[in-house]
């Protein structure tokens, strides 16, 4: 199976509302150009906060492209005219976080600049991810998982050890809460997961050695 076939599969099967027969904006290099995110919604931030709950049981429906674009944008998307203006605050505007999307079709890396996904590895890695999370099998049952990792050197280069002990974890928490509230606003269920083997998760994600996993966030429709 070549990379173009994998990407088409991600569109037609894994992300329910993507166009049939191919990826709008897709390339032979395995890229998906996401539509522009919406900046208005049907639910107030107050209601999203009140409704947020940790939910670990998911129905089988795949997320649509509209949901994926919003979740990724809310987690680490660019909200202003420069790359340093993101959806969450970051110490020094250094943005040490990297976000991956894990679906049954494969693992995709989110690029805030350009608001696009790039295929990292094909095939369903959710079982391996759940195993790396010490057997929390609901990770494998969610139609998609957001994986938030940190590159500490981006922050510690300026702030030293305080960046590692304080600022990077704060960045990750800001981004995770954004993702959780956006999920609620979209009518989806989600839960933050912090119990996992860091190196095992990194290997499943196919991430570089300096990427340290911080969160796994399974997302999907809640079981009735």
Rounded-to-integer distance, Cα 220 and Cα 196, Å: 20
Encoding tokens for residue 47? 């209601």
Is the Cβ–Cβ distance between 3 and 28 less than 8 Å?
A: yes
SS3 72: helix
CATH superfamily of 32-220: NADH Oxidase (3.40.109.10)
SS3 150: strand
Q: 100, 123 in Cβ contact below 8 A?
A: no
Structure tokens at 99: 């976000």
Annotated domain spans of the chain = 32-220
User: Scanning the structure block, which residue is given the tokens 């190196």?
Assistant: 199
* Rounded Cα gap, residues 143 and 202, in angstroms: 20
What pTM does this model have? 0.88
User: Quick one: pLDDT at residue 80?
Assistant: 93
Minimal CA–CA distance to 198: which of 136, 134, 154?
134
Q: What pLDDT score does 98 carry?
A: 98
Per-residue pLDDT of the chain (224 residues; tens, 9 = 90+): 444 444 444 443 444 433 322 222 333 358 999 999 999 999 999 999 999 999 999 998 999 889 999 999 999 999 998 999 999 999 999 999 999 999 999 999 999 999 999 999 999 999 999 999 999 999 999 999 999 999 999 999 999 999 999 999 999 999 999 999 999 999 999 999 999 999 999 999 999 999 999 999 999 999 98
């Amino acid at each position: 199976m070549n990379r173009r076939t994998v990407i088409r599969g991600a569109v037609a099967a894994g992300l329910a509302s993507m166009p049939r027969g191919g990826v709008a904006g897709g390339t032979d290099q395995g890229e998906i150009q996401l539509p522009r995110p919406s900046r208005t919604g049907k639910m107030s931030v107050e209601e999203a906060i009140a409704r947020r709950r940790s939910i670990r049981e998911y129905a089988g429906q795949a997320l649509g492209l509209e949901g994926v674009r919003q979740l990724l944008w809310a987690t680490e998307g660019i909200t202003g005219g420069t790359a340093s203006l993101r959806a969450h605050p970051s110490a020094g505007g250094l943005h040490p976080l990297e976000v991956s999307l894990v679906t049954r079709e494969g693992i995709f890396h989110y690029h805030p600049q350009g608001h696009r996904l790039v295929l990292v590895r094909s095939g369903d890695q959710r079982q391996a991810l759940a195993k790396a999370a010490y057997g929390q099998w609901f990770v494998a049952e969610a139609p998609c998982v957001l994986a938030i990792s940190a590159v500490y050197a981006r922050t510690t280069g300026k702030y030293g050890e305080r960046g590692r002990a304080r600022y990077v974890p704060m960045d990750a928490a800001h981004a995770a809460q954004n993702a959780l509230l956006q999920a609620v606003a979209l009518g989806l269920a989600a839960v933050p997961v912090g119990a996992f083997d860091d190196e095992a998760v990194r290997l499943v994600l196919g991430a570089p050695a300096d990427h340290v996993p911080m969160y796994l966030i399974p997302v999907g429709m809640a079981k009735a």
